[in-house]
Amino acid sequence: MGAILLIRHGQASFGAGDYDQLSDTGFSQSRLLGNSLKARAPKIDLVLGGGMRRHRQTAETALAAMGVDIAVEDDPGWAEYDHVAVIAAHRPEWADQTRMKMELARLPNPRRAFQQEFEQATARWIGGLHNDDYPESWAGFCARVQQALQRLHARLGKSQTALVFTSGGPISAVAQRLLHLPEANTLRVNWTLANAAITKLIYSERALYLSTLNDHAHFEGLRADLITYR
């Protein structure tokens, strides 16, 4: 059996001017991830990223820690959905990111407040009743991720190993399909995915199976301070 390791990016820069780059914690997570991968995936045949800066930074940092010199190929099928568009469809005034940050900053717990609003926004998106409000519908997003997975599966030979550096949304969509979960439960998967966690798929010529989901044991114990979810 071959293996596909879906890796969520390290912590991005929530609340900064540019979210799509790793925080200092994100770089630390990526280095520790690479040290873990060195033992569990000594032979890497292919490395993909979703084309976002946080994907590539996580990949390059982890690969350097592994001591592996392999190019990272971009496949936009593994890109995250447009969370800005999703939240703006729910709260149109928050299309202005500056206004959103100012309003959240006045609250006792900005992160918790944002999470509550974001959960409502993604539930609206997944519900499928307002597809015209979004540049990419939930169904379209899932189809894009599934096509990316199919392309990757078709490329891999027998007993090869691929790393895919991506985001929580695509990983959740893959898990939802392989576990046959109700679509609404995809949210429950998404909120529990840790930064720089590993979800392992195993494959044969005919099928794909989910082996492990959200493995972040490399942060437990002495490095529990590196466990983050946003």
* Domain stop point among 135, 167, 198: 135
How far, in Å, CA of 25 to CA of 11, rounded?
6
Residue 156: the pLDDT is 96
- What's the pTM? 0.93
User: Number of structural domains, the chain?
Assistant: 2
Q: Which residues contact 26 (CB under 8 A, 6 or more apart)?
A: 9, 10, 11, 12, 13, 54, 57, 58, 195, 196
Beta strands 2-8 and 198-203, pairing class: antiparallel
Starting at the edge strand found earlier in the chain, the sheet holding 73-74 runs: 73-74, 46-49, 161-166, 2-8, 198-203, 208-215
First-to-last C-alpha distance (Å) of the chain: 33
Kind and range of the H or E element at 214? strand 208-215
DSSP for 97-165, written as a single string: HHHHHHHHHTSS-HHHHHHHHHHHHHHHHHHTS-GGGSSS-HHHHHHHHHHHHHHHHHH--TT-EEEEE
Q: Give the model's pLDDT for residue 135.
A: 96
pLDDT for residue 230: 82
Indicate whether 125 and 75 sit together in one domain.
no
Q: Clarify whether residues 120 and 161 are in a common domain.
A: no
In a shared domain, residues 115 and 143 = no
- Domain with 89 in it: 82-135
What is the signed CA dihedral for 152, 158, 159, 160, rounded to 10 degrees? Answer: -40
Same domain, 92 and 120: yes
β-bridge mates for residue 126, sequence order: none
Q: Are residues 30 and 49 in the same domain?
A: yes
Task: pLDDT tens for the chain, 230 residues: list them.
Answer: 899 999 999 999 766 566 789 999 999 999 999 999 998 887 899 999 999 999 999 999 999 999 999 999 999 999 999 999 999 999 999 888 889 888 888 989 988 888 899 999 999 999 999 999 999 999 999 999 999 999 999 999 999 999 999 999 999 999 999 999 988 788 788 889 999 999 999 999 889 999 999 999 999 988 999 999 98
Q: What confidence score (pLDDT) does residue 178 get?
A: 95
Is residue 173 located within the same domain as residue 214?
yes
CA 63, CA 108: separation in Å to the nearest integer?
Answer: 39
**150 and 55, same structural domain?**
yes
Looking at residue 163, which CATH number applies to its domain? 3.40.50.1240
> Do 47 and 72 form a contact (C-beta atoms < 8 A)?
yes
Residues 65 and 163 in one domain: yes
Claim to verify: residue 99 and residue 33 sit in the same structural domain: no
Asked if 91 and 59 sit in the same domain, the reply is no
Task: Look at residue 14 in the predicted model and tell me its pLDDT.
Answer: 65
> Do 120 and 175 share a domain, yes or no?
no
Q: Are residues 177 and 131 in the same domain?
A: no
CA distance 31 to 222: 15
